[in-house]
Amino acid sequence: MSDSNEVMDIYRRILVGEDIDYINDAFTADAIVHDFSSGDTTGPKDMIVLAQALVSKVVYGDLDLVRGLKDNDWHTVVMRVKGRGRHHHRPVDVLGTVTVKLRDGQICEAFHHIDIVKMFQQLDLMPPDAMLQCLAGYRLDVVGQARRPSDL
């Protein structure tokens, strides 16, 4: 099995298989995870919380390998994430990039980047033109207008 497929299998098992506990086996106990949402570094325990949040929003159909790259101990996979919104059942289709360092078959360091804006737009959690509004200099101020997916 290629290293790219090994990395993809880890993320498929966690997201598509909804096997969140597998994070404890897939990541070393001292793994450093660079979080895409805040830029902070976290560990496997925080990855569990993040994975639970992602799975609560999306029923993952599959993760397709777009490109795999290797540089010494580092493996980068660009993946296409496909699924359906858990609440509204409409398609979710976004790109993500994961760069990991493997040690003895476990992830000891990871960088996660996903097109979270596009995913939130497809989940009706952000306006479709959110990025354009921000690039035009507007601030998204929708806290007072927040609705639960069940209200949509």
Q: How many helices (H) and strands (E) would you count in the chain?
A: 5, 6
pLDDT in tens, 65-100: 999 999 988 999 999 999 999 999 999 999 999 999
- pTM, full prediction: 0.83
Does the pLDDT value for residue 144 go beyond 60? no
DSSP secondary structure string for all residues of 102-131:
EETTEEEEEEEEE-HHHHHHHTTSS-TTHH
